[in-house]
Amino acid sequence: MIDKSNKTNLSAAFGYAKEWQDIWMNVLETNRALVRESVEAMLPHLRQTEEHPVTIFDPQIVIKTLNKAVAELSKKPQSIKELQTEHFKGVLKLMETVTQHLQGQEVKPLIDVETRDKRFKNPIWKDHPAFFFMQQLYLLNARLLKEVLSQMEELDPQTSQKLAFYTKHLIDAMSPTNFPLTNPDVIRQTFETKGENLIQGFKNFLSDSVNGQLNIKMTDMEALKLGVDIATSPGKVVFRNELLELIQYSPTTAKVHSVPILIIPPWINKFYVFDLKPENSFIRWAVDKGYTLFIISWVNPDKRHSGKTLTDYTLQGAKEAFDFVRQYTNHKSINMIGYCTGGVLLNCLMTYLKAKGKDKEIKSATLIAAPTDFREAGDLLVYVCEAQLKKLESHIKKKGYLDAGSMMQSFNLLRANDLIWSFYINNYLMGKEPIPFDMLHWNSDAVRMPGKMHSDFLRKMYLENRLIQPGGIKIGDVPIDLTTITTPMFIMAAADDHIAPWRAVFPLSTMVKGATEFVLSSSGHVAGVFNHPEKHKYNYWKNGQKAETADEWLASAEKVSGSWWPVWQEWMEKFSGKMVEAHPISDKNSLGEAPGTYVVAK
């Protein structure tokens, strides 16, 4: 057995040359046999595949971007030479530092690892000279690439953003943690299991390949069941059309607020992010606070929905659900919540109703992580250029929809170290199965995108930024102008959101007179939003004063520990009416039990 201290452990492991030779011979021979066995299993899938999935890193666009970069760099030979010289000095300094390390002297890193970087948390990266050298050389090389990137100020913004994105992925990919012979955790696991981790990891890889998976498995999708472990809040489907099912949740309190709430989740994901495990469930928490909740569960589109548009999703989707809730509960006005692209629909619906003189039918609106200014959409913009859109449109025209895996891959690439490389190491190098996790289960339970709706949304929102422009888009016969909205509004954003960056959300708070509350949560698009108060995690910022810009608002904002949900609850009580007797949902109104049928479609 190897000594448990990290430094001794690895030194001992490398010392067993014969054992290592036997381990690697066994791994190579076993994996060769696995390849031969799996080829036959792969062939049927390959024959059935009509075409390759959409490629995020389109070769032609990547080459064009790199050609522009090379042309720009060729104008600055002296600057590049100076960067190379400084980099060489850094490498020499590293060699000197490693020599001191080998002599037992205490040394400091040339480049500190960022606090949030989980890749190098094993102390051996600091304690063992060889791993210290690999880590620091990697960080030096990464710094050089970033400095070279900074020399290309004259590139157009779109090319510059694409190049930065590609460079970031190159830096992430070349990390020593991604290779079995330079990752200390993998080395130890390989030695202690006699290579079984790499054999099992290769089996995991082949299994994913045979199944045609676009994305690395992030969680055990069989471990959590809808309606059993997640999406368990009791309720009934009370309305259904070709785009949605509408769920009403059963009351858990003797009295409830008289004004109901309708939630519009994003159509790009399934609704139950609002109803994860009971301890994470916004639905359960809000119902326990006496709110009567309805939520839309969108259909998982197929070819039948290929021609659906933003107008269809607003009027046939959100508005039909809205009209049903008003009539069903006998309320002239109700409260609304819109999350992510569901918030885009809610903004469109409010503008539409305002134009029709019916804006008072929405008593209040809560916008959660809903982008308004798509110029601030961050790395998502790298996927949207004319050439890329034309290829995407050509692809989805054949099927009528975008595959769920392509959409999921796009989002995962925005946080590659967390959502790709960490699972690559766990599944393929360590040979482990990912653990069950409700948020990752939801993230992996991807849905298709209706063809026309998706291409129009990318073009009109991300490429042309029309939502923020008065009259930039139309819903039915109504030009959308967000400045006409007068509905009282609570706006929430998340500081580390990579899907809807908070600076893309903030402008709505300056455009809408009724936007009285803006709250910024820490963490990201899911964890920052669905943060139960009892967990006592994260924090949020609030500011009693309005500001013209996001940075001005943040500069004078107050930081508060904990979840933003209680702040929203306090605001919502002003629009929720008096407390009335709660009644169970009548069976005669039921079309089935929650979570419904649309949500289970794969």
Contact between residue 599 and residue 296 where contact means Cβ atoms under 8 Å apart: no
In angstroms, the CA 498 to CA 551 distance is 18
Structure tokens given for 116: 């949030």
| Candidates 206, 296, 340, 594; catalytic one | 340
Burial 329-364 (b: 16+ CB within 10 A, else e): eebebbbbbbbbbbbbbbbbbbbbbbbeeebebbbb
- In sign, the C-alpha dihedral spanning 566, 572, 577, 583 is negative
CA distance 286 to 278: 12
Alpha helices in 49-76 (DSSP H): 59-73
577 burial (CB, 10 Å; 0-12 / 13-18 / 19+) is middle
**Angstrom distances, CA of residue 406 to CA of 19, 208, 269, 403, 536:** 43, 15, 13, 6, 35
Q: What is the maximum alpha-carbon separation in the chain?
A: 82
Helix H, strand E, coil C: the string for 184-239 is HHHHHHHHHCCCHHHHHHHHHHHHHHHCCCCCCCCCCCCCCCECCCECCCCEEEEE
Q: Is 340 a catalytic site residue?
A: yes
Q: Of 576, 544, 538, 545, whose CA–CA distance to 560 is shortest?
A: 538
What single-letter DSSP state applies at residue 489? E
Residues 6+ apart with CB under 8 A from 190: 23, 27, 180, 197, 198
Nearest to 272 by CA among 233, 302, 241: 233
The phi, psi pair for 279, rounded to 5°, reads: -75, -10
Distance of alpha carbon 557 from its chain centroid, rounded? Answer: 26
CA 196 to chain centre: 33
Q: What share of the chain is helix, strand, coil (3-state, %, to 5)?
A: 50, 10, 35
End-to-end CA distance of the chain: 47
Q: Mind giving me the DSSP string for 443-474? A: HHS---EEHHHHHHHIIIIIIT--TTSTTSSE
Instruction: Tell whether the torsion through CA atoms of 370, 376, 381 and 382 is positive or negative.
Output: negative
d(Cα 441, Cα 223) in Å, to the nearest integer?
Answer: 9
Catalytic residue positions, numbered: 340
